[in-house]
Amino acid sequence: MPESGSRETDELLGGEGGQWRVETQSSHYIFDLDAGTVTRHPGLTAPTTINDTARPLRAIELCRVGEPGAWTMRSDGGYTDPVDFYWQVSTAIRSIQHLDRQAE
């Protein structure tokens, strides 16, 4: 249940600013739109992936309640991470909630 004074939305486009928790069927993601990052937190039944760390957000393709999410993240670059960017496709999004700066 959202905390008192919290905001929910049906869609993130990327220009909203602030921190947002995107809850899916199997994981949740923290979008820090001020810092330009997204972090995946796998749920108990979800496998771990290469995206389970804060990554620089490149673009939000789709982030809407009731649909699978899709966004891209820039790689860290360098010799150990030579790809241009990563894709994340999530399970169906259940909720999108604005967070206080200290929340996760």
When mean pLDDT is compared across 11-15, 68-72, 79-83, the lowest value belongs to: 79-83
- Asked whether residue 75 carries a pLDDT value surpassing 90, the answer given is no
CB contact set of 104 (below 8 Å; sequence gap of 6+): 21, 30
Domain coordinates in residue numbering, the chain = 16-99
Can you tell me whether residue 65 is helix, strand or coil?
strand
pLDDT mean over 12-25: 95
What global pTM score does this model have?
0.84
Per-residue model confidence (pLDDT) at position 102: 55
